[in-house]
Amino acid sequence: MIHQPLLDYFDLRRPDMLAAIEDLVSRETPSSDKARLDAFAHHYAGRLSAAGADAEIVPCAQTGNHVRARFGYDAVPAADGHALILCHYDTVWPVGSLETHPFRIDGEGKAYGPGIFDMQSSLVMSEFLLHAINDLQLTLKRPVTILATSDEETGSHHSRALIEAEAQGAAYALVLESPLPGGVLKTARKGGGVFVITATGRAAHAGVEPEKGVSAITEIAHQILAVQALADAEEGTTVSVGLVNGGSAHNVIPAQAVAEADVRSWSMAGLDRVSAAIYGLQPVTPGASLAVTGGVNRPPLERSVTAELFARVRAIGEEVGLTLQEGSTGGGSDASWPGLMGVPTLDGLGIPGHGAHADHEHIEVAEIPSRTALLVASLLEL
């Protein structure tokens, strides 16, 4: 069996993997900084090339460039579909975070650093799976494409088309986002979007001639209640108005008010229902008007496209010594794009840890060998 040699290999390479993780974590990559993102993409593509992949930069004018690497296409026919590994390298951490959150490993075996859990350590998994295949002379069942994008944290607006293109014809997609607490894999994610509702009224002096005014704030108050009433706990659909803005002065009947609503659901049916209702809103206040913009920006990852793949990976995990469990989350990821296309998709295959986006963001160092061995074993067996 190849599983024990894989565990032994990654246990031996764990110091090298930690050094690589420190290298990547130390290159700050906030989603909004194109210069830093592009520099990181160039560096990471070089690391993948050195590991034996055919790596290239995919230019993107709006945000950072993306990295695409192919491996095994010259040795394994792709007629039955390729394996797609999805990662992103942008983080939510601003430049300067390393000064207060440097890479470090504590006495409990936790490695800390900005973006280490979500998801720079996963990029290192992708790199070292290539080393293992070469060093151990392993034979893949399918060729592999690794795609590392630069704008997942801001909604994947400029990488979606690329992800969908690479998912076309894929046999399956493995997404190396961070797992749920306890190393639980993700077989369902909510999809969601943001809707901006603008109410327009008519300004007037609040003391001299208030009867000539039409309050946009009164109108937006009616609409906030109507929008939030669209939530459906049984369906698993949430609607939350999180931002409200309106008026110009306390003594002026407000001519404009704006509310922004966050909408999430486990199903496209739920998102479609709420979207239609919001776009169908009608004014309540005489003389007021409404405008709605925005909408659904990420579909859900539904269990119908994850269940079978999870069962197969769970069986592989048992051979690696892992008892894998599945769970769901309200957050979104790039897993939703291949999932929407019907590609069997599994998410949360990164290294266990905790605290994504938070001060205590970390990974569990002891989990590096088994989780990377699981990834390679999956590529060998699926």
Task: Give the single-character DSSP code of 76.
Answer: S
List phi, psi (to 5°) of 115. 80, 10
Q: Name the pTM for this structure.
A: 0.91
Q: Which of 39-53, 71-85, 139-153 has the lowest mean pLDDT?
A: 71-85
CA–CA separation, 172 and 179 (whole Å): 18
**Residue 1: per-residue pLDDT:** 58
Q: What are phi and psi of 83, to 5 degrees?
A: -90, 135
Q: Which domains occur in the chain, in start order?
A: 3-189+301-381 (3.40.630.10), 191-298 (3.30.70.360)
Per-residue pLDDT of 182-237, as tens digits, reads 999 999 999 999 999 999 999 999 999 999 999 999 999 999 999 999 999 999 99
- What pLDDT, on the 0 to 100 scale, is given for residue 112? 98
What residue spans of the chain are helical by DSSP H?
A: 3-12, 14-25, 34-50, 97-100, 121-135, 160-167, 216-228, 268-279, 307-320, 336-340, 368-381
Sheet holding 66-71: strands in order across? Answer: 54-58, 66-71, 144-149, 83-88, 172-175, 345-346
Share of the chain above pLDDT 70, in %: 99
Instruction: Please name which of 151, 231, 240, 161 lies closest in space to residue 194, comparing C-alpha atoms.
Output: 240
Rounded to an integer, what distance in angstroms lies between the CA atom of residue 105 and that of residue 125?
18
pLDDT tops 80 at residue 34? yes
CA distance 342 to 339: 5
pLDDT tens per residue across span 283-309: 999 999 999 999 999 999 999 999 999
Q: Contact, 348 vs 179, CB < 8 A?
A: yes
| Distance (Å, whole) CA 261 – CA 195 | 5
pLDDT band at 43 (very low <50, low <70, confident <90, very high): very high
Residues pairing with 83 in the sheet:
144, 172
pLDDT in the model for residue 76: 76
Question: Residue 113: pLDDT above 80?
Answer: yes
Q: Is the pLDDT of residue 78 over 80?
A: no
Compute the distance between CA of residue 326 and CA of residue 37 in angstroms, rounded to an integer: 32
What pLDDT does residue 2 have? Answer: 73
pLDDT class for 75, splitting at 50, 70, 90? confident
